[in-house]
Amino acid sequence: MSTGDADIKVKILLAAKKLFAKYGFEKTTVRQICEEAGANVALVSYHFGGKENMFGAIFEHFFPNDQISKVDQKLDPVEGVKLIIREVTKFRFSDRQLICIIQQEIIMNTDRIRKIREHVMPMWRLLREWLKQGEEQGLFHFRSLDTALMSIIGTLLFHRHTEYWSIILEEADPELEPLIEDLTTFIMGGLQYRDK
């Protein structure tokens, strides 16, 4: 693939990501994506074979699959949980559009969540395993592993950047590092972890 082909492919993916986040997959047309990208409609078929494949390509291109695959699964459970908190929060800050797409698809329970699961579940499985190990080692205390897992996922992914919540929030969007610190303190407190 030439540099020009690669550039236009990325432009199409960026446009699709932006529009899927804003309007949803179903309400976004290939024509809108191509107008946003400044690309010919035929290029979608050429590069992706259609809108459904473009959806998968967004996750192939923008989701940190390589980073997740390189995580040391033998990390201490406390360090593992803290790593997930840090990396998910950093990703949420760096790609709010992809987070929005994930949330929309999960809420709508579309067939596309299968594609999302391929990319996202390895990370959540790591978190589950670290929670389980931490509980077995007496580092964490909770009644239900499922409840602890889903509470952490909800805390990390909850969409705060919408107009809906603005009427009850007093602070401006927090900076990344203080937010990571706040979320780590909150989650580790919920796990009843006591630093030795």
Q: Where are the domains of the chain?
A: 3-54, 65-190
Which CATH number applies to 65-190: 1.10.357.10, 3.90.25.10, 3.40.630.30, 3.40.50.300? 1.10.357.10
- Give the number of other CB atoms < 10 A from CB of residue 102: 21
| Tally of helices (H runs) and strands (E runs) in the chain | 10, 0
The answer to whether domain 3-54 and domain 65-190 are alike in fold is no
187 vs 22, 42, 81, 83, 86, CA distance in Å?
30, 48, 9, 12, 12
Asked if pLDDT for residue 2 goes beyond 60, the answer is no
147-174: average pLDDT: 84
Which CATH number applies to 3-54: 1.10.3720.10, 3.40.190.150, 1.10.10.60, 3.40.50.720? 1.10.10.60
Single out the residue of 87, 89, 82 nearest to residue 67, CA to CA: 87
Note the pLDDT of residue 57: 95
Q: What is the pLDDT of residues 32-64, one digit of tens each?
A: 999 999 999 999 989 999 999 999 999 999 999
pTM of the model: 0.87
Q: Residue 191 and residue 159: Cα distance in Å, rounded?
A: 22
